Copies of this chain bind each other. A is one copy, B any other.
Amino acid sequence: MSSMWNNGIQISVFGESHSAGIGVVLDHLPAGKKIDLDEVQAFLKRRQAKSDGTTTSRIEPDIPKIISGLYDGKTTGTPLAMVIENTNTRSQDYKNLKASMRPGHADYTGYLRYHGQNDIRGGGHFSGRLTACLVMAGAICGQILEEKGIYTGAHLLSVGALKGQKLDTVTLTKEEVLSLRKLPFPVRDPQLREEIIKKINDVRISQNSIGGMIECVCVGMPAGVGSPMLNSLESILSSLIFSVPGVKGLEFGKGFEVASMLGSENNDPFYYDENQKVRTKTNHHGGILGGISSGMPIDFRVAMKPTPSISLAQDTIDVEQKENTTLNIVGRHDPCIAVRAVPVVEACCNIGLLSAMVDQFGVEL
């Protein structure tokens, strides 16, 4: 339909990679919520290009300008709009791409969808750059969630064959979640981190790219939030997660493993703990049952494909000459989009969870 998303919270994402700017409007927010813009900036910084060779060398300051919806450091309750100007653009890099469709990209599908009228510079509205809008929105939503004691975090679980440990979502604490955000590079284990950084650099040097997996978690979500069927928490979150370019898979809790499990193995027994709080002994359900939060940590994993832009020569088509051709992509690209997608996935989680809260409790929450 569009780049608007309408649930409890509503967002409207706009911009193209090389247009005047990119931005997002958040609507139906509670009024009077304190927003720390330094934290918004810090969240955006986690998505920025890095100098360790794991990302593109196009580093943009990404300083959001608040257009409306914040006054005296608090949400006004009316639409909150933010814009980031596009500055560091090299449109000439995309000249030869107009007719040659990059494999794995939206060039061909976008060309058909928009009859060749879409802005193809830097990928236009399809650019991964647009995920900065989701991050801005998610940063705002996250601060409102935190006021309610709800904390989300994400980390890079794997790159290629290098795989880390999933978080233990039975014992998961707020502190562990917060520590994820502090990581200079979003891999938890220091040794694995170095290996992954090295691997991505190797891939980059070989003019290739590589995929990865992201895990996202949330603690503090109150039990009983969400809906069955078409507005299940999973439906809401998935519609956001699959809007992130490059996502090819999403699983909650035990995810695809459930397909080979017995009911007696997969079912998570409920119990009252010593504080009479309801918990489950295991958390295969990933904090969501029947589309509604159970009070246990929410937990999902996202598969990101390798960056489609690689410098190696590739077979493709020229849609103007209507013939097969070979393409060499120049320009600056991330060798592993999963790295910078970590805060994006976390941001989507924030948007989805706050939306479910507002849907259920209204803007007076």
Contact = CB atoms under 8 A, between A and B. Distances in A.
A148 interface: no
Contact of A118 (B31, B278, B280, B365): B31
A21 B358 CA distance: 27
27 contacts: A2-B227, A2-B231, A3-B27, A3-B231, A15-B67, A20-B67, A75-B117, A76-B125, A77-B114, A78-B124, A78-B125, A104-B267, A106-B289, A109-B292, A110-B292, A112-B292, A113-B226, A113-B227, A209-B263, A211-B258, A239-B239, A249-B250, A250-B250, A263-B308, A267-B310, A270-B315, A362-B364
Q: Is the interface of A mostly helix, strand, loop or mixed?
A: mixed
A144 interface: no
A184 interface: no
Contact of A359 (B126, B286, B362): B362
A306 interface: yes
A14 B67 contact: yes
Given A31-B114, A76-B16, A160-B260, A240 B230 contact: yes
A264 B263 CA distance: 40
A280 to B, nearest CB: 8
A174 interface: no
A88 interface: no
Interface string A222-256: 01111111111011101111110101111111111
User: Most chain-B CB neighbours within 10 Å: which of A257, A269, A323?
Assistant: A269
B13 A272 contact: no
A362 to B, nearest CB: 3
A211 B266 contact: yes
Contact of A209 (B67, B259, B262): B262
Given A19-B68, A360-B364, 8 more contacts: A5-B230, A14-B27, A14-B79, A78-B114, A78-B118, A130-B228, A264-B310, A266-B305
